[in-house]
Homo-oligomer: A and B are copies of this chain.
Amino acid sequence: MEQKEVWLPSLITPTPQEGFELAIKLSRMGVKSTQPDMEVLKRLRKDYANDASGLTAASQVIAINFQTISAANNYWK
């Protein structure tokens, strides 16, 4: 059986900033799970990366994932 790459071993991170980076990774993996073709994703990048509503929408997905990661890490308290 093909061994799947382990890209999400844990939700726990040492710092809030690394938690925010994990939230970015989760958001991008959500896109990649829907469109695995990296060529297509590179082509689309110029669409959302140069569009105000696209950037705000991307920031919102990161915010939702960061909410999850923050709760998982008990807000690094």
- Chain A interface (Cβ < 8 Å from any Cβ of B): 4, 6-12, 15-17, 20, 24, 26-31, 33-35, 40-41, 44-45, 47-68, 70-72, 75-77
Known: A11-B70, A34-B49, A72-B77. 5 other contacts (CB 8 A): A20-B29, A45-B52, A56-B57, A57-B57, A67-B68
Q: Give the residues in chain B near A55, CB-CB below 8 Å.
A: 31, 34-35, 41, 44
User: Do B6 and A31 touch (CB < 8 A)?
Assistant: no
Min CB distance A53 to B, Å, is 6
Given contacts A65-B66, A66-B26, contact A31 B56 (CB under 8 A): yes
Please name 20 pairs of A and B residues whose Cβ atoms are closer than 8 Å in the assembled complex, sorted by A.
A4-B17, A8-B15, A10-B16, A11-B16, A12-B77, A30-B63, A31-B55, A31-B56, A31-B59, A34-B48, A34-B59, A40-B49, A48-B56, A51-B52, A60-B60, A63-B65, A65-B67, A67-B68, A68-B70, A72-B75
